[in-house]
Amino acid sequence: MMVIVGWLVALGCIFGAYVAIGGPVAALIQPTKFIMIFGGALGAFIAANSAPALKHTISGLVSCFKGSKYTRAFYMELLALLFELLAKVRKEGLMSLESDVEEPDKSAIFTKYPTILANHHVVEFITDYLRLMVGGNLNALEIENLMDNEIETHHHEEMHLSHAVAKMSDALPAFGIVAAVMGVVITMGSLHLPPPELGALIAKALVGAFLGILLSYGFMAPLASVLETKANESAKVLQTIKVVLLASLNGFSPQVAVEFGRKVLYSNERPSFRELEDDIKSRKGK
């Protein structure tokens, strides 16, 4: 939603000021220039990316117009889930989690947290490392190293969206220049026309450069920034799980382990100690 608000503010200020100083709006309406610039950049974007990357980018762009799913409520549910899993381990041993890990969608614990269960990346990350912990063949340092490598890989995949859109944003001004140059070519072939008509052709050529810059810095660059933020948010979830599970592996109680996880959250998403404690207690009674 904020992306759309930002676009409206940018367009309102740019075109509002343009009209205020007497600029003719009709001179800026050049659909063929838009097709030329955006179509050229889109073609280059398709040529530069694989089919899976294009599909991933489309879904990622759709997410730019939605709020973050990693809210304070999400993290409270995540930490409560981890607390309950680790409390079961402390009471009944690691082997007691075997059925929960193998079939989380049928687990009495996981099904109490539908928001987390709906996020297959998060569930897969939790169950994979709980499975390794149950196996007991790896120590905490080995598991930490494996977690770091997986988080880095996941973050690299998510950042590909941002980088791809940023490169497209960088290309748009160049395609704007291409459109402007083509307009100049047409103008140079029409020098026999009277000055008013010649001026109109020059104006049309310059609109190409304007549109290329506007589409780049006003539209695509903000999308690349939003995608980068979402990639960082996605990595933060996995980092939180990592910290909690490693704290448990190192012998800390479930209460202390989830506190480790709470501490690594961004300040605007981090519940207070009391909020988290009350939330966990309330869930125990259900």
Within the chain, strands assigned E span none
pLDDT: is 193 or 154 the higher one?
154
In a domain, 102, yes or no: yes
pLDDT value of residue 286: 57
**Single pTM value for the model:** 0.85
Asked if residue 20 belongs to a domain, the reply is no
Residue 143, C-beta contacts closer than 8 angstroms, at least 6 positions apart:
129, 132, 133, 245, 246, 249
> Is residue 145 scored above 90 in pLDDT?
yes
**Domain count for the chain:** 1
Cβ-contact 70, 233 below 8 angstroms: yes
Residues 139-159 have a mean pLDDT of 91
Q: Does residue 16 sit within a domain?
A: no
When pLDDT is cut at 50, 70 and 90, the band that residue 136 belongs to is low
Mean confidence (pLDDT) of the chain: 90
For the stretch 119-130, pLDDT in tens is: 999 999 999 999
- Residue 58's pLDDT band (boundaries 50, 70, 90)? confident
Tell me if 155 is assigned to some domain.
yes
For residue 188, the enclosing domain spans 32-281
Q: Is 220 within 8 Å of 226 (Cβ atoms)?
A: no
| Contact between residue 224 and residue 166 where contact means Cβ atoms under 8 Å apart | yes
Angle value at C-alpha 154, between 45 and 106, nearest 5 degrees:
120
Highest mean pLDDT among 68-82, 90-104, 194-208: 68-82
Tell whether 243 is covered by a domain: yes
Residue 181 lies in a domain: yes
- Is residue 230 assigned to a domain? yes
Q: Could you give the percent of the chain with pLDDT greater than 90?
A: 56
| Closest alpha carbon to 30 in 215, 194, 165, 168 | 215
145 within a domain of the structure (yes/no)? yes
Q: Read off the pLDDT of residues 150-162 as tens digits, 9 standing for 90 and up.
A: 999 999 988 988 9
Q: What is the mean pLDDT of residues 189-213?
A: 87
At 285, the pLDDT band (50, 70, 90 cuts) reads low
